[in-house]
Amino acid sequence: NTTRNKIMMVPMNQWIKIKAPATVANMVCGFDILGFAVNDPYDAMEMRLVETPGITIINMDDYNLPTDPEKNVAGAALLALMEEYGKPVGFEVKINKLIKPGSGVGSSAASSAGAVVGANHLLGNIYTKDDLVRFAMNGEKVASGVKHADNIAPCIFGGVTLVRSIFPLEIVSLPSPPLHVTIVHPQIEVRTADARKILKQNVQLKDAIKQWGNIAGLVAGIMKADYDLIGRSLEDVIIEP
Ligand code: ADP
């Protein structure tokens, strides 16, 4: 447990700033398992410890997201952390959403991840990154109905991450080569919860074989910095062929 060290709690009422990056999950053939973080855009957040136990969410943008901690993904993630922390603690969270909600680049994951990374820093870094992913997944449950880590993991670990397993949770952080990404956004809002409803539930073995060949090729390409192999492997034959 490398993050458990002697860093002290941040003093009461002292604000800290958090940059929670957008993430691309469902990396082509790596649906639900491979994702990566980008430098820009990010949610700009500020947090502080306060005397009164509980969570206060202050929205700094015009998206009118809920401030009820159980309905805002940042609050839901913090509630999971607080339950495990066990002692009464109070957080104030300011959220400036620079990642448009529902825009497909992990807007909800950014706020969930940012909140628990911030809380961990305020409490003196008592939790591991794996713990933080576990807490933040409760935010994803609020946003989309299921606990998934494909955006949360790269948001917390940075770079490219593989969610090898959700239960039990195993995140593999991949040493990614320098990559630029172009994100095309069609300016339509699709909620993850709705998008998941139209997925087909059965796959053909021949398609599965192609898909896992591509996933293995993609991971090998990322680790070997073999850009041609990455390019050839970026093919999805199952989810949206
Ligand atoms: P995204 O791909 O942007 O994460 P989702 O559809 O997964 O989109 O999540 C967006 C949903 O989560 C919306 O219904 C939004 O109201 C809700 N939500 C609650 N709190 C937040 C927050 N802090 N940031 C983003 N979305 C939030």
- The answer to whether the predicted template modeling score (pTM) of the entire model surpasses 0.85 is yes
pLDDT, tens digit (0-9, with 9 covering 90-100), for 105-116: 999 999 999 999
Residues 6+ apart with CB under 8 A from 72: 57, 65, 66, 95, 111, 142
Q: Look at residue 7 in the predicted model and tell me its pLDDT.
A: 65
- Determine whether the shortest distance from the Cβ of 94 to ligand 1 is under 6 A: no
Q: Nearest Cα to 24, choosing from 124, 119, 158?
A: 158
User: What distance in Å separates the CA atoms of residue 231 and residue 151, rounded to the nearest whole number?
Assistant: 22
In the predicted structure, residue 194 carries a pLDDT above the cut 50: yes
pLDDT, tens digit (0-9, with 9 covering 90-100), for 41-96: 999 999 999 999 999 999 999 999 999 999 999 999 999 999 999 999 999 999 99
26, 95, 107, 189: which to mutate for ligand 1, most atoms within 8 A of CB? 107
Q: Any catalytic annotation for residue 192?
A: yes
**Tell me, what DSSP letter sits at residue 30?**
B
**Tell me, what DSSP letter sits at residue 178?**
P
Q: Is the peptide bond before 154 cis (omega within 30 degrees of 0)?
A: no
Give nearest CA residue, ligand 1 atom 13: 143
| Candidates 140, 161, 170, 240; catalytic one | 140
Weakest mean pLDDT among 73-77, 161-165, 185-189 = 185-189
Q: Tell me how far the alpha carbon of residue 106 lies from the centroid of ligand 1, in angstroms.
A: 8
- Determine whether the shortest distance from the Cβ of 72 to ligand 1 is under 6 A: yes
Give nearest CA residue, ligand 1 atom 12: 143
Polymer length in residues for the chain: 241
pLDDT, tens digit (0-9, with 9 covering 90-100), for 110-141: 999 999 999 999 999 999 999 999 999 999 99
User: What distance in Å separates the CA atoms of residue 57 and residue 63, rounded to the nearest whole number?
Assistant: 13
- Determine whether the shortest distance from the Cβ of 161 to ligand 1 is under 6 A: no
Q: Nearest Cα to 47, choosing from 107, 76, 90, 6?
A: 90
- Cα–Cα distance list, 241 to 6, 202, 230 (Å): 50, 14, 18
- Determine whether the shortest distance from the Cβ of 211 to ligand 1 is under 6 A: no
Q: Nearest Cα to 33, choosing from 222, 224, 186?
A: 222
Q: Look at residue 2 in the predicted model and tell me its pLDDT.
A: 47
* Three-state SS at 107: helix
Residues 6+ apart with CB under 8 A from 14: 48, 49
User: What distance in Å separates the CA atoms of residue 78 and residue 139, rounded to the nearest whole number?
Assistant: 9
58, 70, 73, 105: which to mutate for ligand 1, most atoms within 8 A of CB? 73
Give nearest CA residue, ligand 1 atom 8: 102
Q: Tell me how far the alpha carbon of residue 131 lies from the centroid of ligand 1, in angstroms.
A: 21
Check the CA dihedral 98-111-160-240 and report its sign. Answer: negative
